[in-house]
Amino acid sequence: MFVQFTGATYSDALDRPGSAAGTIAHSGQIDTLLAFERIGARRSFTRNEEIFAEGDAAGCWFKVISGTVRICKLLVDGRRHIAEFFFAGDCFGLENTAERLFSAEAVGDVIVMRYPRLATERLIDDNPALARGLRDMTLRDLANAQMRMLVLGRMSAPERVANFLLDMLERRDATRALDLPMSRNDIADYLGLTIETVCRIMSAFKRAGAIDMPAPHRIEIRDRAALTAFSDA
């Protein structure tokens, strides 16, 4: 079955506070959201601009308002790894280390909200529901990371690409058509492959009639069953 790793949305975290945790009153959600709005600041970044760098002080976290963000790390010899992509509604950069272990960059033009960690900690200490929301979000991120480890550690190149396409479809709330905001290079570094391999496999999927690709960044699903079959055979 197709491995799913949907990004953690903050509103999701409040809407579905984990099965055992019970339900949060709707008014509570509004209050805490407003509380966050008050401590946040809007920022915008242009294509390939760095939002934070590896080694920066990790004094705040972010929520994507629009656009796509990539979290990545560069090895000394130039190899790059993309840990995750984040889309509108997703939160990123929440860490407990003093320094950033990864950098964050705008894939295209991006608008984010920036929240200071200290103020967030204060809000959380006074508000168990909010704390629970953030905790669930982090736990969801962790589960996604574990699924991604499975993909990177044990899946073949076609399985990785098929999984990626189905996952993107899911995360962008699409069923048939999809505009990929990231380059082939980004996809390769996300899947632990080379750009050539990603290209070849996408072309193969197209030849096999599983997808259509009117433009490099435009993907249309023609045979979802075939893709799903590819995704974990």
The minimum distance between CB 77 and DNA, in angstroms, equals 10
List of E strands, the chain: 41-45, 50-52, 60-66, 69-74, 80-86, 91-92, 103-106, 110-116, 177-179, 211-215, 218-221
Residue 100 and residue 86: Cα distance in Å, rounded?
Answer: 17
Regarding 96 and contact with a second copy (CB under 8 A), the answer is yes
Interface pick for a second copy out of 49, 125, 196, 220 (rule CB under 8 A): 125
The nearer residue to a second copy, 138 or 183, going by C-beta atoms, is 138
Cβ-contact 44, 111 below 8 angstroms: yes
Does 225 bind a second copy (CB under 8 A)? Our answer is: no
* Binding letters toward a second copy, positions 175-204, x by CB under 8 A: ----------------xx------------
- Asked whether the beta carbons of 51 and 104 are under 8 A apart, the reply is yes
From a second copy, DNA, none, which one binds at residue 174 (CB under 5 to 8 Å depending on kind)?
Answer: none
Residue type, 163: N
141 binds a second copy (CB under 8 A): yes
Integer Cα distance of 138 and 115 in angstroms = 16
**158 within 8 A of 226, measured Cβ to Cβ:** no
Least Å from the CB of residue 142 to a second copy: 5
Per CB under 7 A, residues contacting DNA are: 156-158, 183-185, 192-200, 202-203, 213, 215-217
SS3 212: strand
Check residue 59 for interaction with a second copy (CB under 8 A).
Answer: yes
Backbone angles phi, psi at 7, to 5 degrees: -65, 155
Interface positions with a second copy (CB under 8 A)? 1, 17-21, 59, 71, 73, 75-77, 79-81, 83-84, 94-98, 101-102, 117-118, 121, 124-126, 128, 131-132, 134-136, 138-143, 145-150, 152-154, 191-192, 232-233
